[in-house]
Amino acid sequence: MPAKVRSPADYDSQDEANTELLEKLKHLDRRAEAVESGNGICSRSSACWQSLKLKSALNHIGLLVSLSIYCGVGGLIFRHLERPAEVARLTQLKDVVKTQRERFMNTILNNTEVNNLNELLSFELAKYEAAVQQAAEGGLLIVADKDFPEPYERWSILQAVFFSSTVLTTIGYGNIVPVTTSGRVFCICFALIGIPFTLTVIADWGRLFASAVSVFGKHMPTKPKFTNFIGKTWFYAILAVGFLGVYLAAGAGLLLLWEDDWTFFDGFYFCFITMTTIGFGDLVPKKPNYMLLCTLYILIGLALTSTIIELVRRQYATSWAKLQELSGPMAETLRRLGETAGTGLDYTTLQKVLTVSMPKWNSNKKSEHNSDIAALEAITNAILKEVKEAQNSKPKVLQIVIYESSV
């Protein structure tokens, strides 16, 4: 059977159909490749985001760990420089007390028949009392049966680390201080490097806590109604202050368990004086067993204090930005009104000043402030109306007082 011969028209239609089908297949391939590349981009971006979060967390932790190592090494160096001098000083005080005690006892036992016994006893007693007072102030317990012991080691490892932390945080209780020349020189160098480093770490963790407070406030299921009146930033600041109060109370409770002769108010007072870096030194923990915990508590507390400062700074920055936004055109309006107030202000000039200034003031506002704009326009029209009525009568010099709200 002879093959059917197709006409050129049949070839053209078939070629067009095949070409269209190939184009559709290529289009589908491109869409599939785009989806795969998009998924790859999303996965890569997610991985990048996770790596950035991990890097940020490591930066925060790394700063705190570095500060802790610096503080610990400084404490060990302080102990190495100051402990021998402390031991020599306590030994000398102990020898003086023992000597004066023996002389006083010998005076009583060997001079019973002397005519001026009272004067001699008073003289020796005064010398003994002065030695006892000096020894007590120097850190010795006045207990002769135990050979005038030292109640606690002032320059122990924990006490030295605690002292270095008070240097870095600029608290400076003053209960223990370096007395040797080498210790004081090292203290100067240690503080010059460590104080800026400590302030950097405290500010870094303060910003971290401030961001955490802001995120917590944004994800609260229900916010108090008064936040609409005071603003969210002030609400976060009040929340941080309340948390700081709870933190101080918790520290006071722990100190009440550790310090037998402290009351709850003593502990709260100590925590507040410490967190504000006042550091009078009238109340200082004396139990060396929890000095490292107390140091960590102080660092976290200073970071919380920095959080409050950061939140208040943000509120002031926001308020100042709003004040600049509102006060620019209005300040120009008041200046121009002041320039023309003493020369006879007419209605046309005032209308021109206010109507030209208002659109500049409101050009950057959102549509949700239309009600405020309408109210301002109504007030302006009322002012213009009063001025126009006043211009029809004498005198023509007017005094206009405009009160402006900053936020």
Residues 6 or more apart from 381 whose CB is under 8 A from it? none
Question: Which of 216, 217, 209, 214 is closest to 244 using CA atoms?
Answer: 209
Mean pLDDT, the chain, as a whole number?
75
Q: Is the pLDDT of residue 402 over 80?
A: no
Does residue 21 carry a pLDDT above 60? no
Indicate if the pLDDT at residue 36 is higher than 50: yes
Q: What is the pLDDT of residue 397?
A: 52
pLDDT band at residue 359 using 50, 70 and 90 as cut-offs? very low
> Is the per-residue pLDDT at 314 higher than 70?
yes
Would you list the DSSP string of 9-59? HHHHHHHHHHHHHHHHHHHHHHHHHHHHHHHHHHHHHHHHHHHHHHHHHHH
Report whether pLDDT(339) > 60.
no
pLDDT, residue 208, reads: 83
Distance CA(332)–CA(352), nearest Å, equals 13
Rounded-to-integer distance, Cα 93 and Cα 341, Å: 82
Distance CA 271, CA 281 (A): 12
- Helices 157-168 and 8-110, interaxial angle, to 10°? 120
When pLDDT is cut at 50, 70 and 90, the band that residue 74 belongs to is: very high
Q: How confident is the model at residue 391 (pLDDT cuts 50, 70, 90)?
A: low
Residues 82 and 179 sit within 8 Å (Cβ to Cβ): yes
Find the helix packing angle between 232-258 and 291-341, rounded to 10°: 150
* Residue-range domains of the chain with CATH: 57-203 (1.10.287.70), 222-320 (1.10.287.70)
Q: Are 307 and 216 in contact (CB under 8 A)?
A: no
Q: What is the pTM of this model?
A: 0.62
Q: Which of 25-39, 69-83, 200-214, 229-243 has the highest mean pLDDT?
A: 69-83
pLDDT of residue 2: 47
CA dist., res. 301 & res. 246, Å (int): 11
Distance between CA 87 and CA 146 in Å, rounded? 17
**Helix, coil or strand: residue 61:** helix
| Count of helix runs (H) and strand runs (E) in the chain | 10, 0
Tell me which of 31-45, 79-93, 350-364 is least confident.
350-364
Q: pLDDT class for 73, splitting at 50, 70, 90?
A: very high
Q: What percent of the chain has pLDDT over 70?
A: 60
Tell me which of 329 and 104 has the higher pLDDT: 104
Cα torsion at 377, 383, 384, 389 (round to 10°)?
Answer: 150
Output the pLDDT for position 305.
80
* DSSP calls for 305-360: HHHHHHHHHHHHHHHHHHHHHHHHHHHHHHHHHHHHHTT---HHHHHHHHHHHHHH
165 in Cβ contact with 71 (< 8 Å): yes
pLDDT class of 77 with cuts at 50, 70, 90: very high
> Taking residues 6-17, what's their average pLDDT?
51
Mean predicted confidence (pLDDT) in 363-368: 50
pLDDT range class, residue 365, cuts 50, 70, 90 = very low
Nearest of 195, 189, 180 to residue 81 by alpha carbon? 180
The two tokens of residue 210 are 């401030």
Residue 147 has pLDDT above 90, yes or no: no
Mean pLDDT to the nearest integer, 11-39: 57
pLDDT at 47: 65
Query: Among 53, 348, 77, 80, which residue's Cα sits nearest to residue 190?
Result: 77
Which range has highest mean pLDDT (59-63, 73-77, 299-303)? 73-77
